[in-house]
Structure formats: structure tokens, C-alpha cells
Amino acid sequence: MLTCFAPDLTPTQTTYQLAEEESKHAVRVLRLAAGKAVELLDGQGGRYKAEIADANPKRCQLRITHHETVAPRPYFTHVAVAPTKNLDRMEWFVEKAVEVGVERISFLRCARSERRELKLERLEKIAISALKQSGQAWLPQLDELQDFAAFVVGVTPDTTFIAHLEEGERTALAQVAGAGPGCCVLIGPEGDFTPQEIALALARGIRPVTLGTSRLRTETAALAAVFTVQLVR
């Protein structure tokens, strides 16, 4: 079944018109005709069943046949990660994180970050594509790039954890991630957080964690954090 993203769809609507790009894909590429089933997701928990009423390749009209609201997950997963120099790796992370299940992704500008600027448009499209592919009902929030020092001031220390490679006592994320209603995990850049950044986080009450004994790439560590939290919950 074709799945389309419809962020402007409301529960009271009985019809919906696909955007031109999705209309073309449905009618000319997939060759869907009138009466064929289509699924619509609004990214805010709304899941709609529809059927094609008019197979117009520019303005495909749908008839809504059913609507349900999917409750959000009872546990809030938030990952804050320093984007890699190679943006393909961040695109891969966003895609897989959405498929596994994540509520929010923030991007950090750290002292050792090689990528100092970030445009969210491409990442948002990838998140939407992953949402449709995986059948998730809730599109995660993607935040603009923010300086590390400014970010840590705004988090809740009790449910925030920093994964780093410096010496010192660290607890396995799996042992502490499920203690509250949600958590935020900080993942540093390719050169790791600096000692000063780690000290700043610890001074705020953020606890240090480990994701295992391997030295992981940034995007792998971020995905491991998402997977660990979901597995624990």
C-alpha cells in the first residue's frame, strides 16, 4: 500500500489531495487507479485509510475512509549529537533512528566539531521518508544546530546523560536509561567532547555513561543510544 505524508490533514476531512510529486508517483509510477487503497500519516499520531477517487497525475484526489489516532510512546527518547563532517553519516543516522523510534534529535556544535553549519531541510525529508517506510505515526522533532554550552543549560540534568571516552567512572546507559519518563543522551563529535565540555556537563548534574567497550563512530554511537533506550523500555 502506498503511504503518503500529509501534515496538513485534519480528522474532520473526508477528502484529501496529494501534492503534485506524490500524485505523479502514485498515478504514473505505481499506476494506481481509482479505488486503490492509500495510507496517510500526519506525523502527529494521525493514521488515515483512504482510496483514490480521481487518479489525476497532478492532483490525485483521495476519499478518506477511516481515521485513528496512535498514542505517543510512553517513553521520550531524545538524542543530541554533534553532526559529522560527512553529512551522509548524519542522514543515515536520522533515517535509522526514525525507523527504530525516537522523539527528538538535537544537533550540537562542539569545540571539536568539524561541521559548524547544518541545514535541516534534507534531514527533515529523510525523516519523513523513514516515517512512511517504517509506519511510525509520530515524526520526531529535529532541532537546529546549537552550541554545546547553550544546550546543556536547557536540559533536565536528572534524565540527561553524556557518552564520552575520557577516563573516569561511567555507567552503562542500559542501566540508567529507563529510570524516568524519558531521557536525553549527548553524543560528541568525531574527536569526542573536550575535557572542558565534559566538566561543564558534569557540573550541571549530567551523568556520564558508556555504550560499550568499542570505540564507535559518532553516528553509530547515536544510533546505539536510541536502540539501547528502546530495548530497555
The predicted-structure confidence for 29-75, as pLDDT tens digits, reads as follows 999 999 999 999 999 999 999 999 999 999 999 999 999 999 999 99
- Give SS3 for 44: strand
User: What is the rounded distance in angstroms from the CA atom of residue 106 to the CA atom of residue 48?
Assistant: 29
Strands laid side by side in the 15-17 sheet: 2-5, 37-41, 46-54, 61-69, 15-17
Q: Which residues pair with 40 in a beta bridge?
A: 4, 48
Per-residue pLDDT of the chain (233 residues; tens, 9 = 90+): 899 999 999 999 999 999 999 999 999 999 999 999 999 999 999 999 999 999 999 999 999 999 999 999 999 999 999 999 999 999 999 999 999 999 999 999 999 999 999 999 999 999 999 999 998 999 999 999 999 999 999 999 999 999 999 888 999 999 999 888 999 999 999 999 999 999 999 999 999 999 999 999 999 999 999 999 999 98
Please give the model's pTM, rounded to 2 decimal places.
0.94
Nearest partner of 41 among 21, 60, 69, judged by Cα: 69
